[in-house]
């Protein structure tokens, strides 16, 4: 695996760790009322989506479960940010990044 691919994998792992840290002990109500938490979590999800996009470009034979959903959600966060539903973001975090 090229060095660049390892860097993107590390970016994904770091972003997941950050999301877990940011949301540990937090309930949806607190999250949804905190611009800081929303911004931090959305930023890390964007990093994950972009890193997955770059990984797929570098490693053309790589198969990632839910890669399309991950990159698609990244595009929503970046290009359709005004319509992001925080309940959906919270569900993604709770279902995919358990503590």
Residue scoring higher pLDDT (82 or 47): 47
Give tens-digit pLDDT for 48-85.
Answer: 999 999 999 988 888 888 889 999 999 999 999 899 99
Residue scoring higher pLDDT (7 or 2): 7
What does the H/E/C string look like for the chain? CCHHHHHHHHHHHHHHHHHHHHHCCCCHHHHHHCHHHHHHHHHHHHHHHHHHHHHHHHCCCCCCCCHHHHHHHHHHHHHCHHHCCHHHHHHHHHHHCCC
Judge contact between 42 and 89, C-beta under 8 A. yes
Looking at residue 65, what is its pLDDT? 82
pTM: 0.91
């Amino acid at each position: 695996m090229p060095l660049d691919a390892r860097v993107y994998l590390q970016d994904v792992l770091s972003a997941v760790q950050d999301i877990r840290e940011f949301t540990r002990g937090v309930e949806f109500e607190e999250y949804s009322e905190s611009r800081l938490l929303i911004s931090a979590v959305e930023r890390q999800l964007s990093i994950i989506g972009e890193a997955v996009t770059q990984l797929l470009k570098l490693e053309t034979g790589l198969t990632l479960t839910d890669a399309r959903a991950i990159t698609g959600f990244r595009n929503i966060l970046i290009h359709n940010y005004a319509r992001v539903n925080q309940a959906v973001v919270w569900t993604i975090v709770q279902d995919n990044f358990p503590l």
